[in-house]
Amino acid sequence: MREKVEEALKKIRPALQADGGDITLVDVDEDNGIVQVRLMGACSGCPSAQLTLQMGVERAIMEEVPEIKRVIAVP
């Protein structure tokens, strides 16, 4: 499952990098369907980071990996 999440992040990463940010995968809890990511660069302090996380990152990951139920950002 981790590989599928990484593939989904590869599709999202260019858009984040275009705005001066980036994202890395921290952990995948396969038992609970939770993905932990770290927003970096401009994304880490952006007021729209939570919206980007939910509407962009979470949606893209869940489309690629339906077993995922939630995506959370960790510091």
21-54 pLDDT, tens per residue? 899 999 999 999 999 999 888 777 777 778 788 8
The answer, as to whether pTM is greater than 0.85, is yes
pLDDT band at 11 (very low <50, low <70, confident <90, very high): very high
Question: Is residue 68 over pLDDT 90?
Answer: yes
The pLDDT assigned to 41 comes to 85
Is CATH 3.30.300.130 correct for 2-73? Answer: yes
In the 3-class helix/strand/coil scheme, how is 5-56 assigned residue by residue?
HHHHHHHHHHHHHHCCEEEEEEEEECCCCEEEEEEEEHHHHCCCHHHHHHHH
Q: Which residue has the tokens 């980071």?
A: 49
Domain locations in the chain?
2-73
Question: Is residue 17 over pLDDT 80?
Answer: yes
